[in-house]
Amino acid sequence: MASRSTAPRGKRPSRARTPLSRDRIISAALELADERGDFSMRALGAHLGVDPMAVYRHFRDKDALLDAAVDAALATLRPPAPGDGSALERLRSICIEFRSALTAHPGIATRVSTTQPTLGPHTVALTEATFGLLVELGLGRADATKSFLMLIRFITGAVSAEERARAEETSDTPWQEQMRAAYASLPPEQFPNLAAMAEEVARTDLDIEFEYGLDLVLEALARRGNPGPSVNA
Amino acid sequence: MASRSTAPRGKRPSRARTPLSRDRIISAALELADERGDFSMRALGAHLGVDPMAVYRHFRDKDALLDAAVDAALATLRPPAPGDGSALERLRSICIEFRSALTAHPGIATRVSTTQPTLGPHTVALTEATFGLLVELGLGRADATKSFLMLIRFITGAVSAEERARAEETSDTPWQEQMRAAYASLPPEQFPNLAAMAEEVARTDLDIEFEYGLDLVLEALARRGNPGPSVNA
DNA sequence: ACCTGAACACCGTTCAAGT
DNA sequence: ACCTGAACACCGTTCAAGT
């Protein structure tokens, strides 16, 4: 009983066949975000071959659509099974997967909110699993809560910074070179540390950088969870 | 209906006495950002009692103005003197001051970029000092560079998340209560960890939360810099 | 009952015209 | 030489009108 097609003979006949749905709108929005790093409701309408206002039948406003898109972006993220290594290894892999899911859809990371959580199925599953791993590491509920908030903020902040780095790159000058040139432009005798950073920055990339920061945090978390007096002795 | 006269009376004509300058524009922009968390060029013009386009004589575009505003926002931040405690203590205080400076002007944190650094005097001083403290902690130049990038990302990400939390608060429901209610709305037998977080979240606030995360990072940095086998024995 | 598109109240920025 | 404001090309969203 889906065919209420009268003569589908208009300017845009094929669009009328598959009517709008929340899922179709969300994936179109993510597609646009992938291309530009942002999207407008009007561009979304055009992309769907539909009046921009048609979207408002399915989502109250742009905010509500973005919330749904955040959850959808996390759909590819599958929490590791209990047998997939130690709690620390599983926590590490969940963080890396979380970053990948955010990186795949620029502009989404800034929308991840712990204070007004989306409560979509994927967000909820991620939260439940991550908190569980923190407790498994040996953290009490109070520390696990603060650690969870800290981890999410660190990862979304890092991904946002990465996106800005990528957006500022031009085709022939990667962000490392831009940063190097900026720091190298200052008098080295007055700013020796900036000069040192200018030299070093070529040897990083965004993946190395993220994992370095993540491992710092995870190392500290593991030690709080399991405070043995001599871990490496 | 106050029509403007040529007589130098009232506040309108006084703008002719103090013509626009970069500094006056920047502090007006920060004032507006303080009130709303964001500002538009048109609102800025109105706030200055000036045609919106007059600002373009002093800044190429909004982006350039915001870059200058970021550096100005860091003017209140004074790096601690060498005698103000250990390198770790001084690093901690510089991070806390950095956060305070960003928090004072909502919307600025998202603009802090390490990959396209502003190179304003305050940004440069902060960078030079922070890198120096990381080296003083015992980190090599490569690790200090990665650690610097990580620290900036963590702090700006945390502040952005805090700003979102504050913006979403209503006068009678703080973010903790919103978060608690969200997590408590799910079936606790299916999501026991979310239920636990719902209970815990009331006991944090943004300051506690930030310092907890910062201390995690600093602890790991200190240990990398000075890898003694038994630090607390 | 559903959908549309004009209209409203904004934006950043360009540029010709005014002083 | 400096400044202005109309104009352009956008935005999210409301709402009356159309089918």
Mean per-residue pLDDT of chain B? 87
User: Which residue in A has a C-alpha nearest to residue B192's C-alpha?
Assistant: A128
Query: Residue A52, CB, less than 7 Å from strand D?
Result: yes
Q: Which nucleotide, over all strands, has the C1' atom closest to the CA of B60? A: C13
Query: Residue A46, CB, less than 7 Å from strand C?
Result: no
User: Judged by CB atoms within 8 Å, which residues 123-152 of A form the interface with B?
Assistant: 124, 127-128, 131-132, 135, 141-150, 152
Mean pLDDT computed over B123-134:
96
Q: Which of A132, A150, A199 sits opposite B216 (nearest CB)?
A: A150
- C-alpha span between B92 and B85 (Å, rounded): 10
Residue A113 contacts B where some CB pair is shorter than 8 Å:
yes
Cβ-Cβ pairs closer than 8 A, A with B, add up to 204
pLDDT digits (tens, 9 = 90+) for A28-61: 999 998 888 888 999 999 998 888 999 999 999 9
pLDDT digits (tens, 9 = 90+) for A196-206: 999 999 999 99
Percentage of chain B surpassing pLDDT 90?
Answer: 71
Say which amino acid occupies B119: L
- C-alpha span between A137 and A139 (Å, rounded): 6
In angstroms, what separates the C-alpha of A131 from chain B's closest C-alpha? 6
Instruction: Report chain A's terminal Cα–Cα distance, integer Å.
Output: 72
Q: Which of B142, B164, B233 sits opposite A115 (nearest CB)?
A: B164
Residue B112 (CA) to nucleotide C14 (C1'), in angstroms, measures: 28
pTM of the predicted model, to two decimals? Answer: 0.90
In angstroms, what separates the C-alpha of B220 from chain A's closest C-alpha? 5
Q: In the structure, what pLDDT confidence band is assigned to residue B167 with cuts at 50, 70 and 90?
A: confident
The pLDDT assigned to A13 comes to 35
Mean pLDDT computed over B61-77:
93
A137: part of which helix (H) or strand (E)?
A: none
Contact A209 B149 (CB under 8 A): yes
* Sequence-ordered alpha helix ranges (H) in chain B: 14-17, 22-36, 41-48, 62-73, 87-103, 121-136, 141-168, 175-184, 192-200, 206-225
Q: In the structure, what pLDDT confidence band is assigned to residue B17 with cuts at 50, 70 and 90?
A: very low
Is B9's pLDDT higher than 90?
Answer: no
Which chain C nucleotides are covered by protein, judged by CB under 7 A? 3-6, 10-15
Q: In the structure, what pLDDT confidence band is assigned to residue B175 with cuts at 50, 70 and 90?
A: very high
Residue B18 contacts A where some CB pair is shorter than 8 Å:
no
- C-alpha span between B227 and B137 (Å, rounded): 11
In angstroms, what separates the C-alpha of B3 from chain A's closest C-alpha? 40
In angstroms, what separates the C-alpha of B23 from chain A's closest C-alpha? 23
Residue B175 contacts A where some CB pair is shorter than 8 Å:
yes
* Residue B120, helix vs strand vs coil: coil
The pLDDT assigned to A221 comes to 97
- C-alpha span between B56 and B53 (Å, rounded): 5
Q: In the structure, what pLDDT confidence band is assigned to residue B2 with cuts at 50, 70 and 90?
A: very low
Going by C-alpha positions, the residue among A61, A62, A22 that lies closest to residue A38 is A62
Mean pLDDT computed over B130-146:
97
User: Judged by CB atoms within 8 Å, which residues 37-76 of A form the interface with B?
Assistant: none
What sign has the CA pseudo-torsion B167, B168, B171, B172? negative
The pLDDT assigned to B137 comes to 96
Q: Which of B110, B150, B160 sits opposite A216 (nearest CB)?
A: B150
Residue B89 (CA) to nucleotide D11 (C1'), in angstroms, measures: 47
Contact B128 A223 (CB under 8 A): no
Alpha-carbon separation of residue B59 from B23, B28, B62, B175 (angstroms): 11, 14, 7, 37
The pLDDT assigned to A211 comes to 98
The pLDDT assigned to B151 comes to 97
Residue B181 contacts A where some CB pair is shorter than 8 Å:
no
Which chain D nucleotides are covered by protein, judged by CB under 7 A? 2-6, 10-15
Contact B117 A179 (CB under 8 A): yes
| Below-50 pLDDT ranges, chain A | 1-17, 230-233
Is B174's pLDDT higher than 50?
Answer: yes
Check if the beta carbon of residue A186 is closer than 8 Å to that of residue A127.
Answer: no
Contact B117 A182 (CB under 8 A): yes
Q: Who's near A155: CB < 8 A, 6+ residues apart?
A: A95, A98, A99, A102, A214
Name chain A contacts of B217, Cβ cutoff 8 Å.
216-217, 220
Contact A145 B201 (CB under 8 A): yes
Check if the beta carbon of residue A209 is closer than 8 Å to that of residue B149.
Answer: yes
The pLDDT assigned to B38 comes to 84
Residues in a beta bridge with A173: A170
